[in-house]
Amino acid sequence: MPGVKQTNENPTKQKRKCFGCCCCYPKRKKSEKQSFLLNEIDHKNDGPAYSEEIVQSLTPGCCIIIKGKIRSECKRFAINFLSVRGAKTDVVFHFNPRLALRYIVRNARINNSWGDEETTSVEKFHIQRNETFELQFVTAEREFLVALDGRHVCAFVYRIPLERINKIEVVGIIVEAVDVIRNLKSYPSVDGAIDVEGVEHKQVSNYPPGPTSFTVPLGGGDAAQRIGDQELIVPVTATLPKGFQVGWQLEISGRIKILPAAFYVNLQVGDKLWPHPVIPLHLNPRFYTSYGNHLFVRNSWENGSWGAEERTAGFQFTPGRKFHLAIRKHPDHFAVWVDGTLTGEFLFRTEVDDIDTVYIHGDIHVFNIYMRDHVEDKYFTKSKERIDSL
């Protein structure tokens, strides 16, 4: 059984890719039949494939890296971060991928009672049987950020304090190595890399493709100045070299994936995802939610937490269809337009003059991002005509 290798040095050499997420995740009702060990795993064995105590408490800035292989008959597996106190065991974080359905159940078990499941992610869970993979669990101040082979897949807000974790158990897979990296300063860098020193990892060069770093072109109202359609690899980190001024309009064109769960667009300060950036505007369309319909969620992050969500039932985004999203900055609010229709407004809650980055992630294809520094009234109409046809 592999042991935990802990690295305390400041990571600088080996680069890994990992993305955080700023979405809020819908929950499902808890299942009393859920178990954090064998009942959750279809592969039958006599115990966990890996079990190890964590001697030094986890703190924000740790990265737990689990390298393993999926058996050919495996349908699901589990990774559990446990808090063991005498005869009492709480599950601080239950990470349970369902391979056939390509989604991940996240939950916690407190005082022998499971909480509400979280299943929605910004990306489907891509993993192949009989192939080696790496999972990275990054500990932020409020949540776990989880990446598969360097690509962010989900997050889980702590329901039990992080420092109570003192054991890791893995069930249902072949575990090759477990490493704990400490003292991460931030992630990702602008190219999506986590710097890790002193640990050998499998390099992932072709899947998934790396994120896109992009400088948003700035121009006037003439549509001919826009660059041609070009698909950008999601997630997209786009720099606004001159910020986002009053009277300007940010335009994003793309296409919704066939079976979407959610996507989001952040106007934020800085290109990092942890430490968490200030986000004056967070747009998060959610498809087929537990509420029974689509939701268009608007929010902001400031002073270390999300604000109150502003929700609108329904939106113009259609699975498999192209869209044109326009965000215009007014003196005291943002106006959001989809395919030429005003879909919502969002009053400023925090300082907006320092916005310098657009971050896009989720179930969409992004073709183009463009900033207009001069917008005429014809670009803002409530007619059904698509504004990207102008």
Q: Splitting the chain (390 residues) into consecutive groups of 10 residues, what average pLDDT does each group show?
A: 54 38 47 44 58 94 93 91 96 94 92 92 75 91 88 89 97 93 70 38 38 79 49 89 96 93 94 89 87 87 93 90 96 96 96 96 92 74 44
CATH number for the domain running over 4-196 = 2.60.120.200
The candidate with the shortest Cα–Cα distance to 178, out of 357, 2, 373, 363, is 2
DSSP symbols for 216-230: PPEE-S-GGGSPPP-
Out of 3.30.43.10, 2.40.170.20, 2.60.120.200, 2.40.50.140, the CATH code matching 212-389 is: 2.60.120.200
Q: Is 150 exposed, middle or buried (0-12, 13-18, 19+ CB in 10 A)?
A: buried
Q: What is the pLDDT, as a whole number, of residue 131?
A: 87
For the chain, the domains span 4-196, 212-389
Are 98 and 105 in contact by the 8 Å Cβ rule? The answer is yes
Are 224 and 358 in contact by the 8 Å Cβ rule? The answer is no
Angstrom distance (rounded) from CA 387 to CA 381: 8
- Domain 4-196 and domain 212-389, same fold? Reply is yes
Q: What is the pLDDT, as a whole number, of residue 288?
A: 79
Angstrom distance (rounded) from CA 268 to CA 273: 10
Amino acid residing at 9: E
User: What's this model's pTM, rounded to 2 decimal places?
Assistant: 0.71
As beta bridge partners, residue 143 has 157
Amino acid residing at 182: R
Angstrom distance (rounded) from CA 340 to CA 323: 10
Are 282 and 299 in contact by the 8 Å Cβ rule? The answer is yes
Q: What is the pLDDT, as a whole number, of residue 221?
A: 54
What angle (nearest 5°) sits at the alpha carbon of residue 255, between those of residues 295 and 317? 25
Are 196 and 13 in contact by the 8 Å Cβ rule? The answer is yes
Q: Which two tokens stand for residue 236?
A: 């997209």
Angstrom distance (rounded) from CA 231 to CA 320: 15
